[in-house]
A = this chain, B = another copy of it.
């Protein structure tokens, strides 16, 4: 009886979770795989995921793509060892070979990472449209020499955002100088270094598209270091709209993804799989994006 148990638990009795899990064949635990907790982008998602799962009675274990040695076999062991009931990848890495192992009906959802094989649930924003929106915005402001700073190449977000961006440039008949394309990590440091490089090319770009906000903040800091005014001398646009983008120090113009909605949706998809007994076909949720205009985009410097 549930009521009896509730009362018992309240009175000081606590069931052994391992024993319960052994018999119910449920661990009431889900794992969240992130690439790098230190990137301010992830905590915003983790917090919501964690909260949603906690509300539904699930514990959350954290896996780090960077530091967990042999993540692949580690995850496999957790799954086969029945230590987790479900899994959400909050990681844009394309070449993580993990997904393939969980096709067999194990509940998996991909958050912020597109799913080429449509074999598991996926929640993404319209990264391609976002890339297009960036190109459109910048070109409409008068820019013709635009640089792009990408995250790791093996990342679906970098790939899709770049593709949309280039498509739209092409559609608007603006040439793209491949010299102005750099790829690094999704980190402030990477944005800073690549920003310095880019701003030192001659002629320098009049605008820089950073494939995510953390990168964009690094680019802004690079401009600051080089005493290049934003947006007077160079425009910068990011992607994500993390909290910090709105800070007074940055006031970054960026493409907003509804991070909170996406995280909630991802949790919901996973929870449905965890509680439903029927087989559910893989679903893909694509969230719309929108431009948030703040203070880092303006017309190009008076062209000679």
Q: Which residues of A contact B (CB under 8 A)?
A: 9, 14-22, 27, 29, 36-38, 40, 42-44, 46-47, 50-51, 54-55, 59-62, 64, 67-69, 76-78, 80-83, 188, 192, 217, 220-222, 224-225, 243-244, 247-250
Give how many copies assemble into the complex. 2
Are A51 and B64 in touch, CB under 8 angstroms?
yes
User: Known interface pairs A17-B82, A61-B61. Does A44 touch B38 (Cβ–Cβ under 8 Å)?
Assistant: yes
Are B14 and A80 in touch, CB under 8 angstroms?
yes
> How many Å lie between the Cα of A51 and that of B44 in the bound state?
20
Among B17, B42, B221, B248, the residue within 8 A (CB) of A83 is B17
> How many Å lie between the Cα of A224 and that of B50 in the bound state?
35
User: Known interface pairs A54-B67, A67-B51, A248-B221. Does A38 touch B43 (Cβ–Cβ under 8 Å)?
Assistant: yes
Q: In the complex, what residues of B have CB within 8 A of residue A16's CB?
A: 22, 81-82
> How many Å lie between the Cα of A16 and that of B14 in the bound state?
22
Q: In the complex, what residues of B have CB within 8 A of residue A44's CB?
A: 38
Instruction: Label chain A's interface by main secondary structure.
Output: helix
If A16-B22, A51-B64 are given as contacts, then 6 extra A-B residue pairs at C-beta distance below 8 Å, sorted by A number, are A16-B82, A19-B22, A20-B81, A47-B64, A54-B68, A249-B250
Q: In the complex, what residues of B have CB within 8 A of residue A67's CB?
A: 47, 50-51, 54
Q: Which residue of B lies closest to A9 (CB)?
A: B77
* Nearest Cβ on chain B to A29's Cβ, whole angstroms: 7
User: Known interface pairs A19-B22, A22-B18, A249-B220. Does A62 touch B64 (Cβ–Cβ under 8 Å)?
Assistant: no
Are B14 and A81 in touch, CB under 8 angstroms?
yes
Q: Which residue of B lies closest to A226 (CB)?
A: B248
Are A43 and B50 in touch, CB under 8 angstroms?
no
Q: Supply 15 A–B pairs (Cβ within 8 Å), ascending by A.
A: A14-B80, A16-B82, A17-B81, A18-B22, A37-B43, A38-B43, A50-B62, A54-B69, A59-B61, A62-B62, A192-B248, A221-B247, A224-B248, A224-B249, A249-B249
Q: In the complex, what residues of B have CB within 8 A of residue A64's CB?
A: 47, 50-51, 54
Q: In the complex, what residues of B have CB within 8 A of residue A192's CB?
A: 248
* Nearest Cβ on chain B to A102's Cβ, whole angstroms: 14
* Nearest Cβ on chain B to A260's Cβ, whole angstroms: 11
Q: Which residue of B lies closest to A24 (CB)?
A: B18
Give the most central of A16, A77, A217: most B CB within 10 Å: A16
Are B50 and A81 in touch, CB under 8 angstroms?
no
Q: In the complex, what residues of B have CB within 8 A of residue A47's CB?
A: 36-38, 64, 67
Q: Which residue of B lies closest to A14 (CB)?
A: B80
* Nearest Cβ on chain B to A87's Cβ, whole angstroms: 13
